[in-house]
Amino acid sequence: MPILSRITGPADLRALDADELEELAREIRAFLVASVSRTGGHLGPNLGVVELTLALHRVFESPRDTIVFDTGHQSYVHKLLTGRSDFTSLRRRGGLSGYPSRAESVHDVVENSHASTALSWADGIAKAYALQGATDRHVAAVIGDGALTGGMAWEALNNIATAQDRRLVLVVNDNGRSYDPTIGGLAHHLDTLRTTRGYENFLAWGKRTLRRSGPPGRLAYDALHGLKKGIKDVVAPQGMFEDLGIKYVGPIDGHDVVATEQALRRAKAFGGPVIVHVITEKGRGYVPAEQDVADRFHAVGQIHPETGLPVAPSRFGWTSVFADEMVAIGRRRSDVVAITAAMLQPVGLAPFAAEFPSRVFDVGIAEQHAVTSAAGMAFAGLHPVVAVYATFLNRAFDQVLMDVALHRAGVTFVLDRAGITGDDGASHNGMWDMAMLRVVPGLRLAAPRDEPTLRDALRAAVDVDDAPSVVRYPKGPLPDALPALDVVDGVDVLAREDGERRVLVVGVGPMAHTAVEVSRLLTAEGVGSTVVDPRWVLPLPSALVKLADEHDHLLVLEDGLVEGGVGAMLGQRCTEAGVATPITSVGIPLGFLDHATRGQIVEALRLRAEDVAHDLLVALRARG
C-alpha cells in the first residue's frame, strides 16, 4: 500500500522512519507530476520543497503551531500532508486553490499570493501568541530567496530582531530563483553561503581532533577559537543575519529530511527568532524541469508528463506583441530602458534583454523600488518602461502617485494580465488598475483592443515625457484585429446600426469585441447602436460625453471594477456636463473573485455578449 495513501494529516508523518520518508518523498513527486500535468499549476516550486515540507510537519504541530508560506504557490505538498489529496480539479472552480486557502483547511493561514509578506504575518502571529501567554505555540515562516528580495521582508526582519522571546523560525528556502534567477546583493550573499560550508566543516574537524587528543588544554582551546574568529568572515558570512540579532542555522541540504528536521528542531528549541537556511533545487526529481534553464516549469499548463511539453502549444498572445514592439522601440530610441520585478520572462522582456542587456534592470520582488528608481531614471534623461502584472502594481501605488506623477516623470507602465485572469484566484486578477489609477493626476492610460492598437499604444506611451503613461492588456491569446470604421475626436467608431432607439456602446480594451457582438444582438431586436472604443481612457475623452448626449442610452463594458471604473467616471462627466442620458455600467463587481477559468468567471458575472444584450433589452423595455 503506498505510504501517501495512508497520510491523512501531519500526525501520520511522525510514525515514519527515514526510509519510509524517502519513499514518501518519491511518491509525492510522482503524484505531483501526474496531477499537475493534467490540470496545470505551479510544478517546479512544489517539486523543490517536498522534503522541507515533510520536515516542517514532523517538527511543528500544525494547526496549533502556525506554518506560513510566502507567496504560497509551493503549498501543494502542504495540502497533500494535511488531508487534501483530490487534485483532479486543482485551480478549477469547486476544486483546490493553487494557493493556501482558509476555506479549505485550518492548516492554511495566508491566502494572499503576493510575495514578501510571510515574515510580517509571522511576526504578528508570534506577537499575539506572546501577549496571550501561549509560550508553547510556535510560528514557522517559509520564504524563498526570491521573495526575500522584497523590501517588506526586510522591514519584518528589522522588527523580528528586536524581540528575542518570540518562538519564531524563519525558513529561507534558497533555490536561487523566483520566476527567474534571483538577483541583487542578497543573491550574491546567499551564493557565498551556499559555497562556503567549509566553516562548519572546520569546526567539526577541530572538535573531533580535540576529543581524540583528550581534554583540551587551554592553548589548544585558544588556538581553535582564535583561528575560528579569523576565518569566520572569510568562509561563513552569515553575519548579515546574526548582526541583525537573529540566530542563523545553515546552510542545510533541504532534500535531506533528517538533516532538515534536525535543524528545525534545534531552531524550535532555541526559544527566539532563528533563520534556518535550506538549499533546495526547483523541479527536483523531474528530469524535464531539472534540465530546463528557462524555468518553464515554475507554472505550467497541461503538459505531457513524460516530456514536459505542452499538450496544446500557446497561441500568439498579447505578451508576445509587447515583447516584439519593445525591441523595435529600443532600436529606435536609445533612451528607452526596461525595468521589471523578478518577472523578466513572464512579462516578455527577455528579447529586449537579449538585444540590450545593459538597458534592462530586474530589481527582484521590489515593485516600490522599481517605480521610484524609474522616476530617478526619468529625471536623469531616460524613459523607463516598467513591466509587471497588473495585480502587482497595487503594491506600488504610492510610488506611482508621489514619486512619478507628482514629479511629472515620463515613466511608462505596462500591465500584463490586466482584467480577469481566473485560475490563480483573487489576488492575481488584474481588476483594480483602472479604478485605482484614475485618481492619479496627469496619468494617461491606454486599453488596446487588438495587436495594432497595442503597438500604437506602446509607441504613443513612450512619447509621453511629462507624466506617467500606462498600457494594460489581458492574459492569453490575441483576438482578431478589429479595425475602426471612423474616428470621432480621437475615439474609434467600430460599428453603427440603425434602429428605433439608439444606444452608445463603449467597449474598453478587449471588451470592444464583446461590444460589437452586443450591437449585433441589439440590431436583431430592432435597437440601433453606435459602438466606440476610446483606446485611451485616462484622461477620459470629452468626445464620449458628446456622443452620449446624442444617444438614448449609454452602455459601458469594461474588464475592471465597476466601482470607480470607466463607466462610473463617464457617468460623472455626463452629470457635470448636464447630459442626462441613462447609463448602464457592466464590469467586475466590487469583491474578490474565486478561482475558476476566465470563461466561467465571465459567464458568472454576465459579461458575455448575449447576457449583456439581454439585460440591456430588459432595462430598455422596463423604461418604456
- Annotated catalytic residues are 282, 367, 395
The H-assigned helical ranges of 40-117 are 44-47, 50-59, 76-81
**Total number of residues shown for the chain:** 624
Q: Is 113 among the annotated ligand-binding positions?
A: yes
Q: Is 114 among the annotated ligand-binding positions?
A: yes
Residue from 492, 496, 520 nearest 507 by CA: 492
∠ at Cα 179 (173, 185), nearest 5°?
65
Q: Is 199 among the annotated ligand-binding positions?
A: no
Q: Is 373 among the annotated ligand-binding positions?
A: no
State how far the Cα of 498 lies from the Cα of 486, in Å rounded to an integer.
16
Contacts of 479 (CB under 8 A, 6+ apart): 449, 450, 510, 513
Q: Is 34 among the annotated ligand-binding positions?
A: no
CA 418 to chain centre: 12
Residue from 106, 99, 104 nearest 72 by CA: 99
Q: Is 146 among the annotated ligand-binding positions?
A: yes
Q: Are residues 460 and 452 in contact, defined by beta-carbon separation less than 8 angstroms?
A: no
State how far the Cα of 344 lies from the Cα of 575, in Å rounded to an integer.
44
Q: Is 513 among the annotated ligand-binding positions?
A: no
Residue from 419, 417, 415 nearest 400 by CA: 415
The alpha carbon torsion through 399, 404, 407, 410 (nearest 10 deg) reads 170
Q: Is 175 among the annotated ligand-binding positions?
A: yes
The H-assigned helical ranges of 462-565 are 511-524, 542-549
Output 8-15 pairs: Cβ under 8 A, ≥24 positions apart.
8/83, 9/81, 9/82, 9/83, 10/57, 10/58, 10/61, 10/62, 10/81, 10/82, 10/107, 13/54, 13/57, 13/58, 13/81, 14/58
Q: Is 595 among the annotated ligand-binding positions?
A: no
Quote the longest CA-to-CA distance of the chain: 105
Question: What totals of helices (H) and strands (E) does the chain contain, helices first?
Answer: 24, 18
Please identify which residue in the block is written with the cell numbers 501561549: 134
**Helix H or strand E segment including 602:** helix 598-604
Q: Is 390 among the annotated ligand-binding positions?
A: no
Residue 205 backbone dihedrals phi, psi, to 5 degrees: -60, -45
State how far the Cα of 172 lies from the Cα of 185, in Å rounded to an integer.
16
Q: Which residues are annotated as a binding site for Mg(2+)?
A: 145, 175
Q: Which residues are annotated as a binding site for thiamine diphosphate?
A: 73, 113-115, 146-147, 175, 286, 367
Q: Which residues are annotated as a binding site?
A: 73, 113-115, 145-147, 175, 286, 367
